[in-house]
């Protein structure tokens, strides 16, 4: 918990109880949860939490680069505490979103003369758990 507090302080986020809990949840649950999922999981133990707090906290965490936003389906924004370079695989059967290790080496900085500042790699299919069933 102290490490989490330090990280927030280092990123100019004042570590309120709610913010600590939300960031801790994201670090512990690498399931790329939606706002609704985060809220409904945390409200069980933190009855004082509001959805607005969850939204605002996620916005600060994203702005400070501690969390990244993932949008695969238009209506579904998910949050990821892993901000190092990786891709995502979405299972069309169970809906799980997996982290995929990708090697950033050798990728171009420019495409057709355009400078790249962000990259998103999404894959869809049937995950290994679903296909072995
Ligand atoms: Zn699956
Ligand atoms: Zn991820």
Tell whether 55 and 111 lie within a shared domain.
Answer: no
pLDDT digits (tens, 9 = 90+) for 56-72: 999 999 999 999 999 87
**Do 121 and 67 share a structural domain?**
no
Judged against a pLDDT cut of 80, whether residue 128 lies above it is answered with yes
30 alpha carbon – ligand 2 mean position (Å): 7
Task: Answer for the pair 130, 93: CB distance below 8 angstroms, yes or no.
Answer: yes
Range of the domain at 103: 87-131
Neighbours of ion ligand 2 (CB under 5 A): 80, 82, 99
Clarify whether residues 92 and 39 are in a common domain: no
Q: List, in sequence order, every beta strand (DSSP E) within 3-133.
A: 68-71, 77-80, 87-91, 97-100, 110-111, 114-115, 122-125
Backbone angles phi, psi at 57, to 5 degrees: -65, -45
Task: Summarize the confidence of residues 2-23 as an average pLDDT.
Answer: 96
- pLDDT given for residue 19 in this prediction: 97
Query: Out of 5-14, 15-24, 36-45, 74-83, which region has the weakest mean confidence (pLDDT)?
Result: 74-83
Rounded CA gap, 14 and 6, in Å? Answer: 10
How confident is residue 14, by pLDDT bands cut at 50, 70 and 90?
very high
In this structure, what CATH number is given to the domain that contains residue 30? 1.10.10.10
Together in a domain, 68 and 102? no
Q: Residues with beta carbon < 5 A to ion ligand 1? A: 91, 93-94, 127, 130
């Amino acid at each position: 918990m102290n490490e989490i507090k330090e990280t927030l302080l280092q990123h100019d986020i004042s570590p309120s109880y709610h913010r600590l809990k939300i960031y801790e949840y994201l670090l512990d649950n690498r399931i790329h949860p939606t706002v609704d999922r985060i809220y409904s999981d945390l409200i069980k133990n933190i009855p004082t939490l509001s959805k607005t707090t969850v939204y605002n906290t996620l916005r600060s965490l994203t702005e400070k680069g501690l969390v990244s936003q993932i949008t695969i389906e238009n209506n579904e924004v998910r949050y990821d505490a892993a901000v190092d370079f990786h891709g995502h695989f979405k299972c069309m059967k169970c809906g799980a979103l997996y982290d995929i290790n990708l090697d950033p080496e050798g990728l171009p900085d420019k495409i057709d003369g355009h400078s790249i500042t962000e990259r998103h790699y999404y894959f869809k299919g049937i995950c290994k758990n679903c296909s072995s069933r």
